Amino acid sequence: MRYADRILQMAHENNGTVTTAEVTKAGILRGHLKGLVDKGLLEHVGRGVYIIPTVFDDEMFNLQTRFKRGIFSHETALFIHDLTDRTPIRFSMTFPLGYNTTSLQQANLRYTRVKKEHFDIGVVSIKSPGGNPIRVYNAERTLCDLLRGRSNTDIQVLTDALKRYTRMKQQDIPLLSEYAKIFRVGKKLQSYLEVLV
């Protein structure tokens, strides 16, 4: 099988997306990607990310590929977990303290940085709306992040998210309480839940 065909096959198997890293890992030279772009068989949509032109551009996956250390959070995570109807205008990601933010400022991205010991708490891998794997904070961590008050989230959005969470089948109140202690939002959470439940 020719290299171009192998790259296109990789893209088809990955919901129409292929990355430079995947091509290199398969032992194929990056130059073949440029050849496919020149022929119109692939589009370059972000640093190291290529899609088949007829496929929906998965912006979340592109951001995850570009900023590998980032985890989708705050309002974006609410949207992914179906805890809000508001589609985010700008995606939100969280990074560990010390992460260089120069490239983040150029992307259409809201970002937060947290202590390294809190960074990996509540991370799950799920499918983006485009069907590709992305990392996002679970619903419990997301609610605690929003309760911390640094996110400038509209109080109505937060109240609606907590209402939806209490109706979820996969809710985990003990885990939510544990995270609330870690992130020091226990009293805020309790006052919200007393009103809602």
What global pTM score does this model have? 0.77
Which residue has better confidence, 107 or 9?
A: 9
76 and 153 in one domain? yes
pLDDT reported for residue 43 = 86
Which residue, among 184, 28, 116, has the nearest Cα to 42 in the 3D structure?
A: 28
**What stretches of 52-188 adopt beta strand conformation (E)?**
71-72, 91-96, 109-114, 123-127, 133-137
Question: Within a domain: residue 109?
Answer: yes
Containing H/E element for 44? strand 43-46
Smallest CA-to-CA distance from 31 within 11, 9, 4 is with 4
pLDDT tens for 111-152 read: 999 999 999 999 999 998 888 899 999 999 999 999 987 667
For residues 75 and 135, state if they share a domain: yes
106 plus 22 within the same structural domain: no
Tell me whether residue 177 is in a domain: yes
Let me know whether 50 and 93 are in one domain.
no
> How far apart are the C-alpha atoms of 78 and 160, rounded to whole Å?
10
Provide the pLDDT confidence category of residue 84 given band limits of 50, 70 and 90.
Answer: very high
User: Sign of the C-alpha dihedral, residues 165, 167, 170, 171?
Assistant: positive
Are both 73 and 53 inside the same structural domain?
Answer: no
Quick check: is 62 in a domain? no
Q: Kindly report, residue by residue over 14-66, the tens digit of the pLDDT.
A: 878 888 989 999 999 988 898 899 888 898 887 888 888 877 778 898 888 88
127 part of a folded domain: yes
Our count of domains for the chain comes to 2
Domain boundary among 57, 77, 95: 57
Is 24 domain-assigned? yes
172 and 75, same structural domain?
yes
CATH of the domain at 52: 1.10.10.10
Domain-embedded: residue 64: no
Residue 44, phi then psi, degrees to nearest 5: -90, 110
Same structural domain for residues 77 and 99? yes
- Do 82 and 40 share a structural domain? no
Q: What pLDDT, in 10s, does the model give residues 89-102?
A: 889 999 999 888 88
Residues 126, 115, 101, 141: what is their CA dihedral angle, to the nearest 10 degrees?
A: 30
Residues 114 and 52 in one domain: no
36 and 97, same domain (yes or no): no
Structure tokens at 175: 């885990």
DSSP code of residue 57: P
Give burial (CB, 10 Å; 0-12/13-18/19+) of 113: middle
Residues 80, 47 within the same domain? no
| Domain range for 29 | 3-57
Domain identity same for 74 and 11: no
Sheet of 49-51, strands arranged across: 17-19, 49-51, 43-46
Closest CA to 145 of 89, 70, 72: 72
Structural domain contains residue 43: yes
Q: State the Cα–Cα distance between residues 148 and 89, nearest whole angstrom.
A: 21
Residue 120 or 154, more confident: 120
